[in-house]
């Protein structure tokens, strides 16, 4: 399960919500009280009449129909709404409870069910990933099989976390945008990423995200992730931690952690929980890179199958330019 409160994709501690022409806002740039009330009303109506679920895209459309020119800041704010802090912000909490997961809002009961479904699916993926380890390459044979199996399990939980982080209401609907490619091995060791995500920043601008997953935070994992900056816009390393303390990695590995973040890498801390589950949280957000054009083109060809599914590139027969410039 992914544990994430309020954080921006560019590394700020809080989501910055700014007003646009045609929207009302408070002095701090957030949605106005009237916008909140409208958002709660429409959300409640649609959850009650659509089996406890409405996509963020559908909610954006409904808000536009009701006079909010740019409803995206309000929809983002709804995703991170905390009823416990609403009185401090002068907002009256709605009479119903709701949650947000992936690309949709859910009623309280439906949200709990979706969480259970997600955890079950993730666990099944983890077991499948563990069985794939039997096909390890000769150069990896010295690494214990149990280590590889646990690493494969961890990949599936990080994948679920990325689906939360990079869900977007401006990209193609009903398409996959995060891919587990840890067993693909389509290049040399410093080109074989574990996970790929496509982040749609707008309908015509996207970024490639890559992740290196390891059970230990080491110089090797950092150097491998740094190599990914040649062909992807943002890079994460995902590693195990022993506590819930935000500063565990900086305290245990001060020089290595400082080096990683100074080079623009993001860091995901993964903590074991009951039932062999993992909880994943960001402790440092990645900076944006400008990939080398040739390395980027090679990356696209290595993982074209996944990128076509995400509609990040057109089919190979058409051979167009990628849609992210």
Which residues partner with 216 through β-bridges? none
What is the per-residue pLDDT for 92? Answer: 80
DSSP conformation class of 93: P
The model's pLDDT over 194-219, given as tens digits with 9 standing for 90+, comes to 999 999 988 889 999 999 999 999 99
pTM of the model: 0.64
User: Which of 148-157, 179-188, 277-286 is the most confident on average?
Assistant: 277-286
47: CB partners within 8 A, 6+ apart: 53, 54, 96, 98, 105, 106, 107, 110
Q: Where are the beta strands (DSSP E) in 154-194?
A: 178-180
Counting residues of the chain whose pLDDT is more than 70, the rounded percentage is: 74
Site of tokens 């996959």:
176
pLDDT of 125 = 59
Q: Closest Cα partner for 125 from 104, 147, 154, 97?
A: 154
Q: For 102, left (φ over 0), alpha (ψ -120 to 50), or beta?
A: left
* Domain at 136-309, CATH class: alpha beta
Q: Is the predicted pLDDT of residue 128 greater than 70, yes or no? A: no
* Statement: residue 188 has pLDDT above 80: no
Q: Length of the chain, please? A: 325
For residues 231 and 208, is the Cβ–Cβ distance under 8 A?
A: yes
Cα-based torsion angle of the residue sequence 182, 233, 251, 192 in order, rounded to the nearest 10 degrees: 20
| Residues 80 and 101 sit within 8 Å (Cβ to Cβ) | no
Mean pLDDT value across the chain: 80
pLDDT (0 to 100) of residue 320: 45
Alpha carbons 268 and 215: distance in angstroms, whole number? 11
Instruction: Map out the domains of the chain as residue ranges.
Output: 1-116, 136-309
List the single range of 22-36, 96-110, 215-229, 244-258 with lowest mean pLDDT. Answer: 22-36
pLDDT tens digits along 68-100: 888 888 888 888 777 766 665 677 888 899 988
Structure confidence at residue 148 (pLDDT) = 73
CA distance 12 to 210: 20
Q: Which two tokens stand for residue 278?
A: 């993992």
**Do 216 and 228 touch, CB atoms closer than 8 A?**
no
């Amino acid at each position: 399960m992914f544990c994430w409160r309020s954080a921006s994709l560019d590394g700020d501690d809080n989501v910055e919500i700014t007003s646009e022409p045609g929207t009302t806002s408070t002095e701090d740039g957030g949605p106005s009280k009237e916008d909140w009330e409208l958002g709660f009303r429409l959300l409640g109506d649609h959850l009650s009449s659509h089996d406890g679920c409405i996509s963020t895209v559908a909610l954006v459309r409904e808000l536009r129909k009701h006079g909010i020119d740019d409803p995206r800041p309000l929809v983002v704010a709804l995703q991170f709404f905390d009823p416990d802090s609403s009185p401090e912000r002068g907002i009256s909490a709605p009479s119903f409870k709701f949650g947000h997961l992936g690309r949709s809002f859910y009623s309280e009961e439906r949200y709990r069910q979706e969480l259970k479904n997600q955890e079950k699916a993730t666990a099944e993926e983890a077991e499948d990933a563990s069985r794939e380890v039997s096909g390890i390459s000769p150069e990896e044979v010295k690494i214990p099989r149990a280590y590889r199996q646990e690493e494969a399990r961890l990949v599936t939980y990080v994948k679920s976390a990325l689906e939360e982080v990079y869900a977007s209401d401006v990209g193609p609907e009903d398409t996959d945008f995060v891919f587990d490619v840890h067993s693909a091995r389509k290049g040399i060791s410093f080109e074989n990423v574990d996970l790929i995500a496509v982040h749609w920043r707008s309908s015509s601008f996207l970024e490639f995200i890559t992740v290196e997953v390891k059970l230990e935070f080491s110089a090797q994992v950092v150097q491998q992730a740094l190599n990914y900056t040649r062909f992807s816009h943002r890079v994460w390393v995902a590693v195990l931690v022993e506590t819930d303390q935000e500063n565990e990695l900086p305290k245990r590995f001060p020089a290595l952690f400082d080096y990683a973040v100074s080079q623009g890498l993001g860091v995901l801390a993964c903590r074991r929980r009951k039932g062999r589950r993992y909880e994943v949280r960001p402790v440092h957000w990645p900076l944006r890179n400008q990939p080398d054009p040739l390395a980027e083109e090679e990356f696209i060809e290595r993982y074209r199958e996944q990128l076509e599914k995400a509609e990040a590139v057109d089919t190979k027969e058409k051979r167009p330019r990628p849609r992210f410039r």
